[in-house]
Amino acid sequence: MEKERCLLVAVQLSGEEENDMEELGELVEAAGGEVISSVVQNRQSVDNRLYAGHGKIEEIANYVKELDIDTIIFNDELSGSQIRNIEEIVEAKVIDRTNLILDIFAKRALTKEGQLQVELAQLKYSLPRLIGVNKNLSRLGGGIGTRGPGEQKLEIDRRRIKEKITDIQNQLEVLEKVRETKRKKRMKDQVPIISIVGYTNAGKSTLLNALMDNEYKEEGENKKVFAHDMLFATLDTELRRVRLPGGRSAVFSDTVGFIKKLPTQIVEAFKGTLEEIKYAELIIHLIDINDENLMVHKETTTELIEKIIGREIPVLTVYNKVDKILDEKTSFLNNGIIYISAKYKYNINMLLEAVDTKINGIKNFYDLKIPNEQIKTYYWLYENRATENVEFDGDGVSLRVLLYENEKDKYENFIGEKDE
């Protein structure tokens, strides 16, 4: 199938952050379109009727003819009437940033919950815009901005949309209950959750896969998660159990990536998924160290974390993709910041150590002597903690074992001297 030919448009307001046309282009590609050209207009404020200036829109109308453009993509959220007014002049389909992102989400949603969440966000987006759609340029033909999850076509009738919204909300509530039950079970098991959070494409899913494949890993289980060089490769929250260096387990979660101007409809509809972050004991904020807009993206993520969580959760800042700037496998940690390569597995164990210490506190080696009557304690330690110098004699077993400071009291009766 031929790709939709897209023209990107942005209005640059003075004093506002610069429009990232490269990112908008990546979003278009993720939605299956092809970027033909882009236009940025500098203005003091946006136009109520046409968003950009009238002259500019006419200029765009010419490009549409000259360059055979199918779709014009605006880097902002537009009102229904703005979309209709522009479409009348340019005679091409007009899509705004929100609709574009919703479209990518619709393409990517695989699970039932993901699909329902996307559909809810799409319906909420379309509700105030129904009158805005130019009937001559019917969106039912297909392409960017018209896809529903699972290739369903979006409903167009207002009353039916409202009914559908209620219906989806009810279905999501049921799924939320299931999620809550699972969460309660995890909390009862006292397995701490660590959420990997970050801008889209930072390498979160790659990191989760690297964490699962560490040297302390548990046998079997743990299916790899999908990681790919595209925006919003991940839509659903995935949880994986990983063994930390000291022997205790933790559950790491990988979730949907963040982006500038993440549509509020998405934040609301994905509440269930995103709120998983709330229950984390620790957040790993993963940042691509090569990102040209690192500061802006870091801030975007921090703001979204605060918005979603609404309480203080310790954050471990981790810079990823250091392999792109360093030839050698350097191990450095500065001011509590960790530098890793998820892809080439640099410093993954160091990161796990840092997580272990944050969650469980420090560890020390102790010399224990366990009598035969309590040999089960030895078996447990052998399976679950790092042990060395194991020696059996007639009365029992002596060994060196790495214990967390906060569990050492349990073994007090067996402890000889502490060994530094």
Residue in this structure with the two tokens 């023209």, named with its chain if needed = 7
Stretch that binds ligand GTP, among 34-42, 230-238, 353-361, 408-416 (CB under 6 A): 230-238
User: Of 265, 138, 340, 286, nearest to 274 (Cα)?
Assistant: 265
Residue 257 near ligand GTP by CB under 6 A:
yes
**In the window 216-235, what residues touch Mg ion (CB under 5 A)?**
233-234
- Choice between 9 and 269, CB closer to ligand GTP: 269
Q: Distance (Å, rounded) from C-alpha 285 to C-alpha 298?
A: 9
Q: Which of 98, 320, 347, 387 binds ligand GTP (CB under 6 A)?
A: 320
**CA dihedral sign of residues 195, 199, 200, 202:** negative
What Cα–Cα distance (Å) separates residue 402 from each residue in 120, 359, 390? 50, 16, 13
Residue in this structure with the two tokens 């260096």, named with its chain if needed = 245
Sheet-wide strand order for 71-74 = 33-43, 4-13, 71-74, 93-96
Residue 185 near ligand GTP by CB under 6 A:
no
- Choice between 4 and 236, CB closer to ligand GTP: 236
Smallest distance, ligand GTP to C-beta of residue 278, A: 19
**CA dihedral sign of residues 149, 152, 154, 157:** negative
- Choice between 162 and 329, CB closer to ligand GTP: 329
Say how far residue 304 (Cα) sits from the centre of its chain: 11
Q: Which does 323 bind (CB under 5 to 8 A by kind): Mg ion, ligand GTP, none?
A: ligand GTP
Please name the amino acid found at residue 108.
Answer: R
What Cα–Cα distance (Å) separates residue 10 from each residue in 53, 97, 309? 11, 10, 31
How big is the site for ligand GTP, counted in residues (CB under 6 A)?
Answer: 23
Binding to ligand GTP by CB under 6 A, coded x per residue (else -) over 42-71, reads: ------------------------------
Q: Which of 201, 237, 301, 347 binds ligand GTP (CB under 6 A)?
A: 201
Residue 343 near ligand GTP by CB under 6 A:
yes
Residues 6+ apart with CB under 8 A from 63: 7, 37, 39, 69
Say how far residue 205 (Cα) sits from the centre of its chain: 8
Q: Which of 71, 82, 300, 341 binds ligand GTP (CB under 6 A)?
A: 341
Binding to Mg ion by CB under 5 A, coded x per residue (else -) over 171-210, reads: ---------------------------------xx-----
Smallest distance, Mg ion to C-beta of residue 373, A: 50
Q: Distance (Å, rounded) from C-alpha 72 to C-alpha 64?
A: 8
Residue 250 near ligand GTP by CB under 6 A:
no
Query: Could you tell me where the DSSP H helices lie in 18-157?
Result: 21-30, 54-66, 80-90, 97-108, 112-126
Q: First vs last Cα of the chain: how many Å apart?
A: 67
| Nearest position to ligand GTP, beta carbon | 257
Q: Which does 85 bind (CB under 5 to 8 A by kind): ligand GTP, Mg ion, none?
A: none
Q: Which of 33, 203, 247, 263 binds ligand GTP (CB under 6 A)?
A: 203
- Choice between 287 and 403, CB closer to ligand GTP: 287
Residues that bind ligand GTP (CB under 6 A): 198, 200-206, 227-229, 231-234, 257, 320-321, 323-324, 341-343
Residues that bind Mg ion (CB under 5 A): 204-205, 233-234
